[in-house]
């Protein structure tokens, strides 16, 4: 008689625990990170950003012009949250889960880009970190910056 009672109580506790976890997880607000891209060149440059789920139009930025967009961080498999940005010169990964700026204590991930490289602000060391462009193969298959222009 005691075994069924203990089994019932154990199942009840497990059910309540699982319900608590699922409702707590559902109550989380979707965390978003602001990505700020700044044209670091003296003339117009074009940029287009995309992920597997989202795609934005080409943006033409004047010198020191800024483009901002929001990234919704995934709770399950956060490493799958990634945004690429494509310029006339190549691509760079504008958001990855393991960047220091992706932590919740920072409001944004800041980038500068020009005709040679991209630079990400590293909040811990308070300096710009150089990123060489990756070739544009992936982004050209997805549209690239075909409508962009570069003026010297």
pLDDT digits (tens, 9 = 90+) for 53-107: 777 788 889 999 999 999 888 877 777 888 888 887 888 999 998 888 888 889 9
pLDDT: which is higher, 16 or 130: 130
Q: Is the dihedral of CA 88, 92, 93, 94 positive or negative?
A: negative
Residue 7: give the domain boundaries: 1-29
The C-alpha angle with vertex 124 and arms to 121 and 128, in degrees rounded to 5, equals 25
**Using CA atoms, how far apart are residues 25 and 102, in angstroms rounded to an integer?**
20
Q: Identify whether residues 38 and 99 lie together within a single domain.
A: yes
pLDDT: which is higher, 29 or 99: 99
Look at residue 68 in the predicted model and tell me its pLDDT. 94
pLDDT in tens, 42-58: 888 888 888 877 777 88
Look at residue 37 in the predicted model and tell me its pLDDT. 94
pTM reported for the whole predicted model = 0.69
Look at residue 19 in the predicted model and tell me its pLDDT. 67
Q: Identify whether residues 12 and 85 lie together within a single domain.
A: no
Q: Identify whether residues 49 and 11 lie together within a single domain.
A: no
pLDDT: which is higher, 127 or 82: 127
**Using CA atoms, how far apart are residues 34 and 68, in angstroms rounded to an integer?**
7
With b for 16 or more beta-carbon neighbours within 10 A and e for fewer, the 20-55 pattern comes to: eeeeeeeeeeeeebebbbbbbbeeebbbbbbbeeee
Domain annotation covers residue 150: no
Q: Identify whether residues 21 and 37 lie together within a single domain.
A: no
Checking if the pLDDT of 151 tops 80, the result is no
Checking if the pLDDT of 109 tops 90, the result is yes
With cut-offs at 50, 70 and 90, classify the pLDDT of residue 126: very high
Count: domains in the chain: 2
Backbone angles phi, psi at 6, to 5 degrees: -65, -40
């Amino acid at each position: 008689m005691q075994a069924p009672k203990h089994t019932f109580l154990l199942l009840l506790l497990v059910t309540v625990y699982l319900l608590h976890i699922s409702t707590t997880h559902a109550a989380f607000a979707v965390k978003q990170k602001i990505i700020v891209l700044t044209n670091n060149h003296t003339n117009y440059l074009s940029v287009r950003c995309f992920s597997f789920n989202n795609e934005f139009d080409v943006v033409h930025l004047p010198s020191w012009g800024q483009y901002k967009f929001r990234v919704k961080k995934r709770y399950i498999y956060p490493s799958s949250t990634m945004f690429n940005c494509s310029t006339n010169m190549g691509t760079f990964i504008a958001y990855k889960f393991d960047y220091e700026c992706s932590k919740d204590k920072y409001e944004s991930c800041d980038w500068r880009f020009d005709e040679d490289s991209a630079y990400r602000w590293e909040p811990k060391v308070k300096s710009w970190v150089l990123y060489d462009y990756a070739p544009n193969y992936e982004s050209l298959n997805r549209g690239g910056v075909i409508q962009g222009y570069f003026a010297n």
